[in-house]
Amino acid sequence: MATDSGHGADVAGGGHAFDPMHQFEIQRILPLNIGGLDVSFTNSALFMVIIVVLVTLFTAASMGSRALVPGRMQSMAELSYEFVANMIRENAGTEGMKFFPFVFTLFMFILFANMLGMIPYAFTVTSHIIVTFVLALVVFVGVTIVGFAKHGIGFLKLFAPAGAPIVLMPLLIVIELISYLTRPVSLSVRLFANMLAGHTMLKVFASFVVMLGFVGGWLPLAAMVAFTGLEFLVAFLQAYVFAILTCIYLNDALHMH
Amino acid sequence: MEAEAAKFIGAGIACIALAGAGLGIGTIFGNYLSAALRNPSAAQSQFPNLLLGFALAEATGLFGLVVALILLFVV
Protein backbone atom coordinates (compact mmCIF):
# COMPACT_ATOMS: atom_id res chain seq x y z
CA MET A 1 0.00 0.00 0.00
CA ALA A 2 2.90 2.29 0.72
CA THR A 3 4.61 1.71 -2.58
CA ASP A 4 3.56 4.85 -4.38
CA SER A 5 6.18 7.44 -3.80
CA GLY A 6 6.18 10.86 -5.31
CA HIS A 7 2.40 11.14 -5.16
CA GLY A 8 2.83 14.54 -3.63
CA ALA A 9 6.43 14.94 -4.71
CA ASP A 10 5.47 15.55 -8.34
CA VAL A 11 3.00 18.15 -7.21
CA ALA A 12 5.57 20.23 -5.37
CA GLY A 13 6.59 23.04 -7.67
CA GLY A 14 10.23 23.64 -6.74
CA GLY A 15 11.71 25.30 -3.71
CA HIS A 16 8.77 27.41 -2.68
CA ALA A 17 8.87 28.57 0.92
CA PHE A 18 5.17 27.96 1.68
CA ASP A 19 4.52 24.97 -0.51
CA PRO A 20 1.07 23.74 0.60
CA MET A 21 1.62 20.35 -1.06
CA HIS A 22 4.82 19.54 0.81
CA GLN A 23 2.90 18.01 3.73
CA PHE A 24 1.54 15.23 1.48
CA GLU A 25 4.98 14.06 0.37
CA ILE A 26 5.78 10.42 1.06
CA GLN A 27 9.23 9.84 2.51
CA ARG A 28 11.02 6.53 2.84
CA ILE A 29 11.99 5.86 6.44
CA LEU A 30 13.32 2.34 5.92
CA PRO A 31 14.19 1.74 2.25
CA LEU A 32 13.31 -1.80 1.19
CA ASN A 33 13.42 -3.34 -2.26
CA ILE A 34 12.17 -6.86 -2.83
CA GLY A 35 12.46 -8.15 -6.39
CA GLY A 36 12.33 -4.72 -8.00
CA LEU A 37 9.24 -3.81 -5.99
CA ASP A 38 9.60 -0.78 -3.76
CA VAL A 39 8.14 -1.84 -0.41
CA SER A 40 9.89 0.76 1.72
CA PHE A 41 8.56 1.55 5.14
CA THR A 42 7.33 5.11 4.58
CA ASN A 43 5.90 7.82 6.78
CA SER A 44 2.48 6.77 5.48
CA ALA A 45 3.04 3.20 6.66
CA LEU A 46 4.39 4.48 9.98
CA PHE A 47 1.22 6.47 10.60
CA MET A 48 -0.97 3.50 9.66
CA VAL A 49 0.88 1.44 12.28
CA ILE A 50 0.41 4.24 14.84
CA ILE A 51 -3.32 4.39 14.03
CA VAL A 52 -3.80 0.64 14.42
CA VAL A 53 -1.88 0.63 17.71
CA LEU A 54 -3.90 3.60 19.03
CA VAL A 55 -7.25 2.08 18.07
CA THR A 56 -6.28 -1.24 19.63
CA LEU A 57 -5.11 0.46 22.81
CA PHE A 58 -8.24 2.61 22.93
CA THR A 59 -10.63 -0.33 22.70
CA ALA A 60 -8.67 -3.09 24.44
CA ALA A 61 -7.14 -1.13 27.31
CA SER A 62 -10.27 0.85 28.12
CA MET A 63 -12.41 -2.31 28.24
CA GLY A 64 -9.84 -4.13 30.37
CA SER A 65 -11.57 -3.45 33.67
CA ARG A 66 -15.07 -4.44 32.40
CA ALA A 67 -16.66 -2.39 35.17
CA LEU A 68 -20.44 -2.44 35.52
CA VAL A 69 -20.35 1.31 36.05
CA PRO A 70 -17.96 2.44 33.29
CA GLY A 71 -15.12 4.83 33.98
CA ARG A 72 -14.11 7.64 31.65
CA MET A 73 -12.18 5.59 29.10
CA GLN A 74 -14.65 2.71 29.20
CA SER A 75 -17.57 5.03 28.50
CA MET A 76 -15.76 6.43 25.49
CA ALA A 77 -15.22 2.94 24.10
CA GLU A 78 -18.84 2.01 24.84
CA LEU A 79 -20.00 5.25 23.25
CA SER A 80 -18.17 4.50 20.01
CA TYR A 81 -19.51 0.93 20.03
CA GLU A 82 -23.09 2.14 20.52
CA PHE A 83 -22.64 4.82 17.87
CA VAL A 84 -21.58 2.38 15.16
CA ALA A 85 -24.05 -0.31 16.29
CA ASN A 86 -26.96 2.13 16.07
CA MET A 87 -25.80 3.30 12.67
CA ILE A 88 -25.84 -0.27 11.35
CA ARG A 89 -29.19 -1.15 12.96
CA GLU A 90 -30.87 1.93 11.51
CA ASN A 91 -29.44 1.63 8.00
CA ALA A 92 -28.95 -2.07 7.39
CA GLY A 93 -31.30 -3.70 9.89
CA THR A 94 -30.39 -6.23 12.58
CA GLU A 95 -29.12 -8.55 9.84
CA GLY A 96 -26.35 -6.06 9.18
CA MET A 97 -24.97 -6.53 12.69
CA LYS A 98 -23.09 -9.55 11.34
CA PHE A 99 -20.82 -7.01 9.66
CA PHE A 100 -20.35 -4.89 12.77
CA PRO A 101 -16.64 -5.74 13.24
CA PHE A 102 -15.88 -4.64 9.67
CA VAL A 103 -17.79 -1.36 9.82
CA PHE A 104 -16.42 -0.56 13.29
CA THR A 105 -12.83 -1.17 12.15
CA LEU A 106 -13.37 0.94 9.05
CA PHE A 107 -14.90 3.80 11.04
CA MET A 108 -12.26 3.82 13.77
CA PHE A 109 -9.39 3.59 11.28
CA ILE A 110 -10.62 6.50 9.17
CA LEU A 111 -11.57 8.56 12.23
CA PHE A 112 -8.15 8.11 13.83
CA ALA A 113 -6.39 8.73 10.52
CA ASN A 114 -8.28 12.00 9.99
CA MET A 115 -7.84 13.13 13.59
CA LEU A 116 -4.13 12.28 13.73
CA GLY A 117 -3.68 14.25 10.52
CA MET A 118 -4.89 17.37 12.33
CA ILE A 119 -1.81 17.32 14.59
CA PRO A 120 0.81 19.70 13.16
CA TYR A 121 3.63 17.89 11.31
CA ALA A 122 1.65 14.65 11.32
CA PHE A 123 1.01 12.82 8.07
CA THR A 124 -2.60 12.41 6.93
CA VAL A 125 -2.91 8.86 5.65
CA THR A 126 -6.34 9.48 4.10
CA SER A 127 -5.07 12.39 1.99
CA HIS A 128 -3.71 9.90 -0.54
CA ILE A 129 -6.22 8.55 -3.03
CA ILE A 130 -4.57 5.13 -3.22
CA VAL A 131 -5.30 4.55 0.48
CA THR A 132 -8.92 5.64 0.33
CA PHE A 133 -9.47 3.85 -2.97
CA VAL A 134 -8.30 0.54 -1.54
CA LEU A 135 -10.61 1.04 1.46
CA ALA A 136 -13.53 1.80 -0.88
CA LEU A 137 -12.65 -1.14 -3.14
CA VAL A 138 -12.72 -3.54 -0.17
CA VAL A 139 -16.21 -2.26 0.68
CA PHE A 140 -17.37 -2.52 -2.95
CA VAL A 141 -16.04 -6.04 -3.58
CA GLY A 142 -17.21 -7.23 -0.16
CA VAL A 143 -20.73 -5.89 -0.64
CA THR A 144 -20.98 -7.46 -4.11
CA ILE A 145 -19.85 -10.85 -2.75
CA VAL A 146 -22.38 -10.60 0.11
CA GLY A 147 -25.13 -9.78 -2.38
CA PHE A 148 -24.36 -12.74 -4.65
CA ALA A 149 -23.88 -15.09 -1.70
CA LYS A 150 -27.27 -14.16 -0.26
CA HIS A 151 -29.42 -13.84 -3.39
CA GLY A 152 -27.48 -15.87 -5.95
CA ILE A 153 -28.00 -14.74 -9.51
CA GLY A 154 -31.15 -12.91 -8.33
CA PHE A 155 -28.87 -10.16 -7.05
CA LEU A 156 -28.81 -8.85 -10.63
CA LYS A 157 -32.43 -7.75 -10.08
CA LEU A 158 -30.87 -4.85 -8.18
CA PHE A 159 -30.12 -3.30 -11.55
CA ALA A 160 -33.70 -3.66 -12.82
CA PRO A 161 -36.01 -1.64 -10.56
CA ALA A 162 -39.33 -3.42 -10.03
CA GLY A 163 -42.42 -1.77 -11.49
CA ALA A 164 -40.61 0.24 -14.13
CA PRO A 165 -42.11 0.19 -17.64
CA ILE A 166 -40.49 -2.43 -19.86
CA VAL A 167 -39.70 0.13 -22.57
CA LEU A 168 -37.43 2.02 -20.20
CA MET A 169 -35.64 -1.11 -19.00
CA PRO A 170 -32.57 -1.01 -21.30
CA LEU A 171 -31.88 2.59 -20.32
CA LEU A 172 -32.54 2.01 -16.60
CA ILE A 173 -30.28 -1.03 -16.40
CA VAL A 174 -27.40 0.93 -17.94
CA ILE A 175 -27.91 3.84 -15.53
CA GLU A 176 -28.18 1.56 -12.49
CA LEU A 177 -25.10 -0.36 -13.57
CA ILE A 178 -23.04 2.81 -14.00
CA SER A 179 -24.18 4.21 -10.66
CA TYR A 180 -23.29 0.91 -9.00
CA LEU A 181 -19.84 0.78 -10.58
CA THR A 182 -18.94 4.38 -9.70
CA ARG A 183 -19.56 3.71 -6.01
CA PRO A 184 -15.92 2.97 -5.12
CA VAL A 185 -14.78 6.06 -7.04
CA SER A 186 -17.19 8.46 -5.36
CA LEU A 187 -16.61 6.87 -1.95
CA SER A 188 -12.83 7.22 -2.16
CA VAL A 189 -12.67 10.60 -3.90
CA ARG A 190 -15.02 12.12 -1.31
CA LEU A 191 -12.76 11.24 1.60
CA PHE A 192 -9.50 11.98 -0.21
CA ALA A 193 -10.64 15.32 -1.66
CA ASN A 194 -12.00 16.52 1.68
CA MET A 195 -8.74 15.77 3.44
CA LEU A 196 -6.55 17.16 0.65
CA ALA A 197 -8.60 20.35 0.25
CA GLY A 198 -8.87 20.95 4.00
CA HIS A 199 -5.19 20.55 4.73
CA THR A 200 -4.15 22.61 1.70
CA MET A 201 -6.50 25.39 2.77
CA LEU A 202 -5.11 25.38 6.32
CA LYS A 203 -1.57 25.59 4.98
CA VAL A 204 -2.41 28.45 2.59
CA PHE A 205 -4.03 30.46 5.37
CA ALA A 206 -1.12 29.70 7.69
CA SER A 207 1.26 31.11 5.08
CA PHE A 208 -0.87 34.30 4.96
CA VAL A 209 -0.26 34.74 8.70
CA VAL A 210 3.49 34.48 8.21
CA MET A 211 3.50 36.75 5.15
CA LEU A 212 1.48 39.54 6.78
CA GLY A 213 3.58 39.40 9.91
CA PHE A 214 2.83 40.83 13.34
CA VAL A 215 0.83 43.81 12.02
CA GLY A 216 -1.67 42.25 9.63
CA GLY A 217 -1.46 38.58 10.50
CA TRP A 218 -4.16 38.57 13.17
CA LEU A 219 -7.10 38.42 10.77
CA PRO A 220 -5.93 35.27 8.93
CA LEU A 221 -4.94 33.82 12.33
CA ALA A 222 -8.52 34.20 13.55
CA ALA A 223 -9.71 32.59 10.33
CA MET A 224 -7.21 29.78 10.89
CA VAL A 225 -8.67 29.02 14.31
CA ALA A 226 -12.17 28.86 12.83
CA PHE A 227 -11.03 26.69 9.91
CA THR A 228 -9.22 24.32 12.26
CA GLY A 229 -12.48 23.84 14.15
CA LEU A 230 -14.26 23.22 10.86
CA GLU A 231 -11.58 20.73 9.83
CA PHE A 232 -12.12 18.74 13.04
CA LEU A 233 -15.82 18.60 12.16
CA VAL A 234 -15.00 17.48 8.61
CA ALA A 235 -12.54 14.87 9.92
CA PHE A 236 -15.27 13.27 12.01
CA LEU A 237 -17.97 13.79 9.38
CA GLN A 238 -16.05 12.07 6.61
CA ALA A 239 -15.39 9.01 8.76
CA TYR A 240 -19.10 8.98 9.62
CA VAL A 241 -20.17 9.35 5.98
CA PHE A 242 -17.81 6.59 4.86
CA ALA A 243 -19.22 4.24 7.49
CA ILE A 244 -22.86 5.15 6.87
CA LEU A 245 -22.52 4.72 3.09
CA THR A 246 -20.98 1.30 3.75
CA CYS A 247 -24.10 0.48 5.81
CA ILE A 248 -26.38 1.71 3.01
CA TYR A 249 -24.55 -0.40 0.42
CA LEU A 250 -24.76 -3.39 2.77
CA ASN A 251 -28.49 -2.78 3.08
CA ASP A 252 -28.79 -2.91 -0.73
CA ALA A 253 -26.97 -6.22 -0.81
CA LEU A 254 -28.93 -7.74 2.10
CA HIS A 255 -32.43 -6.50 1.34
CA MET A 256 -32.37 -5.54 -2.37
CA HIS A 257 -33.64 -1.94 -2.03
CA MET B 1 -3.20 30.21 -27.01
CA GLU B 2 -0.44 28.50 -25.11
CA ALA B 3 -1.20 25.13 -23.57
CA GLU B 4 -0.05 26.42 -20.17
CA ALA B 5 -2.57 29.27 -20.28
CA ALA B 6 -5.37 26.95 -21.32
CA LYS B 7 -4.55 24.77 -18.31
CA PHE B 8 -4.98 27.66 -15.89
CA ILE B 9 -8.22 28.78 -17.55
CA GLY B 10 -9.55 25.22 -17.34
CA ALA B 11 -8.63 24.98 -13.67
CA GLY B 12 -10.44 28.25 -13.04
CA ILE B 13 -13.53 27.05 -14.87
CA ALA B 14 -13.51 23.83 -12.84
CA CYS B 15 -13.99 25.94 -9.70
CA ILE B 16 -17.50 26.86 -10.90
CA ALA B 17 -18.45 23.51 -9.35
CA LEU B 18 -18.28 25.35 -6.02
CA ALA B 19 -21.44 27.27 -6.97
CA GLY B 20 -23.35 23.99 -7.07
CA ALA B 21 -21.89 22.84 -3.77
CA GLY B 22 -22.84 26.17 -2.18
CA LEU B 23 -26.40 25.91 -3.48
CA GLY B 24 -26.68 22.33 -2.25
CA ILE B 25 -25.34 23.01 1.25
CA GLY B 26 -27.50 26.12 1.56
CA THR B 27 -30.61 24.20 0.51
CA ILE B 28 -29.93 21.40 2.99
CA PHE B 29 -29.29 23.62 6.00
CA GLY B 30 -32.06 26.07 5.09
CA ASN B 31 -34.63 23.33 4.71
CA TYR B 32 -33.45 21.64 7.88
CA LEU B 33 -33.79 24.88 9.84
CA SER B 34 -37.24 25.71 8.53
CA ALA B 35 -38.44 22.16 9.19
CA ALA B 36 -36.81 22.12 12.64
CA LEU B 37 -38.56 25.37 13.60
CA ARG B 38 -41.91 23.98 12.50
CA ASN B 39 -41.45 20.72 14.39
CA PRO B 40 -38.64 21.03 16.94
CA SER B 41 -39.36 17.63 18.50
CA ALA B 42 -38.49 15.83 15.25
CA ALA B 43 -35.36 17.88 14.62
CA GLN B 44 -32.94 15.82 16.69
CA SER B 45 -33.83 12.56 14.98
CA GLN B 46 -33.07 14.03 11.56
CA PHE B 47 -29.69 15.46 12.52
CA PRO B 48 -27.70 12.47 11.15
CA ASN B 49 -29.50 12.84 7.83
CA LEU B 50 -28.55 16.53 7.82
CA LEU B 51 -24.88 15.66 8.23
CA LEU B 52 -25.10 12.98 5.55
CA GLY B 53 -26.72 15.38 3.10
CA PHE B 54 -24.16 18.05 3.91
CA ALA B 55 -21.27 15.69 3.25
CA LEU B 56 -22.79 14.41 0.01
CA ALA B 57 -23.41 17.94 -1.28
CA GLU B 58 -19.97 19.14 -0.26
CA ALA B 59 -18.32 16.23 -2.05
CA THR B 60 -19.66 17.33 -5.45
CA GLY B 61 -17.86 20.64 -5.07
CA LEU B 62 -14.69 18.83 -4.14
CA PHE B 63 -14.88 16.75 -7.31
CA GLY B 64 -14.51 20.08 -9.13
CA LEU B 65 -11.46 20.82 -7.02
CA VAL B 66 -9.97 17.47 -7.96
CA VAL B 67 -10.48 18.31 -11.65
CA ALA B 68 -8.74 21.64 -11.10
CA LEU B 69 -5.82 19.98 -9.31
CA ILE B 70 -5.47 17.37 -12.04
CA LEU B 71 -5.41 20.12 -14.68
CA LEU B 72 -2.82 22.12 -12.75
CA PHE B 73 -0.44 19.41 -11.65
CA VAL B 74 -1.00 16.21 -13.64
CA VAL B 75 -2.00 17.05 -17.22
- Are A238 and B65 an interchain contact pair (Cβ–Cβ within 8 Å)? no
Whether residue A16 is contained in a domain is answered as: no
Q: Comparing A12 with A127, which gets the higher pLDDT?
A: A127
ipTM of the complex: 0.71
Weakest-pLDDT range from A8-22, A105-119, A239-253, B59-73: A8-22
Q: Is B3-74 assigned to CATH 1.20.20.10?
A: yes
A89/B contact by beta carbon, under 8 A: no
β-strand A37-38 against A33-34: which pairing, if any?
antiparallel
* Spatial separation of the C-alpha atoms in residues A25 and A9, rounded to whole Å: 5
Residue spans per domain, chain B: 3-74
Band of pLDDT at residue A15, cut at 50, 70 and 90: very low
Looking at the 3D structure of chain A, how many domains does it have? 1
What pLDDT, on the 0 to 100 scale, is given for residue A18? 66
- Are A237 and B63 an interchain contact pair (Cβ–Cβ within 8 Å)? no
Average pLDDT over residues A193-209: 87
> What DSSP string runs through A201-246?
HHHHHHHHHHHHHHHHTHHHHHHHHHHHHHHHHHHHHHHHHHHHHH
Instruction: Name B26's Cβ contacts closer than 8 Å, sequence gap at least 6.
Output: none
Would you say residue B75 has pLDDT above 80? Answer: no
CA-CA distances (angstroms) from residue A142 to A33, A113, A183, A185? 31, 22, 13, 15
Q: How far is B34 from chain A (nearest CA, A)?
A: 23
Whether residue A6 is contained in a domain is answered as: no
- Are A193 and B55 an interchain contact pair (Cβ–Cβ within 8 Å)? no
What pLDDT, on the 0 to 100 scale, is given for residue A5? 40
DSSP 8-class letter at A57: I
B9/A contact by beta carbon, under 8 A: no
Q: Chain B: residue nearest A190 by CA? A: B59
DSSP 8-class letter at A98: G
DSSP 8-class letter at A99: G
Q: State which amino acid sits at residue A135.
A: L
| Domain enclosing residue A221, as ranges | 22-255
CA angle A196, B58, A244 (to 5 degrees): 90
Whether residue A1 is contained in a domain is answered as: no
Whether residue A173 is contained in a domain is answered as: yes
What pLDDT, on the 0 to 100 scale, is given for residue A12? 39
Model pLDDT for residues A204-236, shown as the tens digit of each residue: 888 888 888 888 888 889 989 999 999 998 899
> What DSSP string runs through chain B?
--HHHHHHHHHHHHTTHHHHHHHHHHHHHHHHHHHHHH-HHHHGGGHHHHHHHHHHHHHHHHHHHHHHHIIIII-
Give the gyration radius of chain B's Cα atoms: 18
Record the pTM.
Answer: 0.83
Residue-averaged pLDDT of chain A:
85
Report percent pLDDT > 70 for chain A: 93
Would you say residue A2 has pLDDT above 60? Answer: no
Model pLDDT for residues B19-69, shown as the tens digit of each residue: 888 999 999 999 999 999 999 998 888 887 888 888 778 877 878 887 888
What pLDDT, on the 0 to 100 scale, is given for residue A149? 92
Would you say residue A14 has pLDDT above 60? Answer: no
A237/B contact by beta carbon, under 8 A: yes
Contact A100/A88 with Cβ under 8 angstroms? yes
Torsion of CA B22, B25, B26, B31, to 10 degrees: 160
What pLDDT, on the 0 to 100 scale, is given for residue A21? 77
Whether residue A215 is contained in a domain is answered as: yes
Band of pLDDT at residue A6, cut at 50, 70 and 90: very low
User: Which H helix or E strand runs over A85?
Assistant: helix A72-92
What pLDDT, on the 0 to 100 scale, is given for residue A17? 55
Contact B54/B29 with Cβ under 8 angstroms? yes
What pLDDT, on the 0 to 100 scale, is given for residue A19? 76
